[in-house]
Structure 1
């Protein structure tokens, strides 16, 4: 391939050289390395905007909730990590609640999520959220049909109340194909440092893939409101999904000194 001067400059950086040396089978893959460096540069630009966004939220005592939902192994956690990488840790929280305990089982379903809502000047990221009851719980038999229907009848009103109280609510769904999910599960199972992530729910995800789809579609149909819409992102390519999720967040909140030119979407391709 013929490299432009700006491409060569990217590859001559420390990260660029590392990316180039990590090419497959000992062969220098300039296309893949350059693609990785363009992604890293784009992420860095967007992270600078995220710092501006956080400063605006803090200064103006705003409250932001960002929900990440999606298939198991869709890359929700990885996207959140890149978003918060350079943010002030005192002004954001990541919430990934475990299975409810016995006391929580007897409470109003939304109660434990209400306790995690942001204070003034704070961003809260939900790595899975109350929408467990819309998809994961009914698919796996963790709730009754009555509990499911009660949730679906209440959730839009609850979110409306939160938004009317001054909370910015952003809902993002990472979508992947059955084939891509199987590939990622296989990578996780065979990784000595990632295999702990493979849960009992994950083990049934492939078998129940179509059932998940049915409940997911109903969730979109009934909870994709004008006030709190879903942003569905094709997450089969992790780099692209991370970029798109950050762009969406930045575009959804009217912070000061927003770089509108920077936020014009750019296409990123990757091998996996």
Structure 2
């Protein structure tokens, strides 16, 4: 196993790659490209934190994160892929999918939320659906984040003890500890049916989260044939002279209390 990536190197390299992501986004806009990036994998494997680093400096009007809730009663009666289609990108857009239609091959299958008929229909239709997207010009990238059972359990315990991150734990997450082998078999079967030349799976080992983020972002950039787009420089104009505007008296407006100053006095020695 590789040693943990040094923090100083990680932060410098992450910043460099994030600058390249900004360049890539500019090309997507300019070229009218459509990009879908799927993030799948084990619970607590680092998908969410990687998505955060990918999108951190990107324009949210161009790059959208899609994380759908459980389907409604109406959506359960639709063609399975129907609820995902409205979230696909138009020209000049990037969609980052925090889990995707592959819910059916993973949690829905393992936890019994779909029938065997629905499950096998998905395995048949998913490659067809993805080939249609690619044939229509969509750039489709699929990443699977993996983690060891020991590291997954350690991260679950860390989350359960942290009130700021406890919301990340769901009943299904916790049950995944007891269904490790079931999820492993489901993943293996999913890969057999959906690891196609037009849209292959790429695995991201993520015991070291820093390393996995760097590796995933670098790979993403290598798979999109972007070019540097020359953007016009923005000139900041000089402020024109005043035309006699006078601000209304401040005592007529409602201000947020200076909580920071109050807290500073409280904590001051």
TM-score (norm 1): 0.82
* Pairing 1:50–2:30 present: no
- Tell me the residue number matched to 2:56: 85
Alpha-carbon contact 2:27-2:228 (below 8 Å) kept? no
* Pairing 1:36–2:36 present: no
After TM superposition, the runs of 4+ consecutive aligned structure 1 residues lying more than 4 A away are none
* Pairing 1:165–2:136 present: yes
- Distance in 2 of aligned mates of 1:66 and 1:97: 15
- Give the secondary-structure state (helix, strand or coil) at the position aligned to 1:205: helix
- Distance in 2 of aligned mates of 1:135 and 1:105: 17
Alpha-carbon contact 2:84-2:101 (below 8 Å) kept? yes
TM-score (norm 2): 0.82
- Distance in 1 of aligned mates of 2:228 and 2:72: 44
Size of the aligned set, in residue pairs, is 227
- Give the secondary-structure state (helix, strand or coil) at the position aligned to 1:151: helix
* Pairing 1:141–2:112 present: yes
Q: RMSD of aligned C-alpha atoms?
A: 1.4
* Pairing 1:97–2:68 present: yes
Q: Which has the higher contact order (CA 8 A, sep 6+)?
A: 2
* Pairing 1:188–2:159 present: yes
- Tell me the residue number matched to 1:226: 197
- Distance in 1 of aligned mates of 2:34 and 2:107: 27
- Distance in 2 of aligned mates of 1:193 and 1:61: 39
Shift of 1:39: 0.1
Determine which structure has more spread, i.e. the larger CA radius of gyration. Answer: 2
From 198, 215, 220, the counterpart of 1:249: 220
- Give the secondary-structure state (helix, strand or coil) at the position aligned to 1:123: strand
Structure 1 unpaired stretches of 5+: 1-30, 259-272
Shift of 1:203: 1.7
- Give the secondary-structure state (helix, strand or coil) at the position aligned to 1:115: helix
- Give the secondary-structure state (helix, strand or coil) at the position aligned to 2:87: coil
- Tell me the residue number matched to 2:173: 202
Shift of 1:257: 3.8
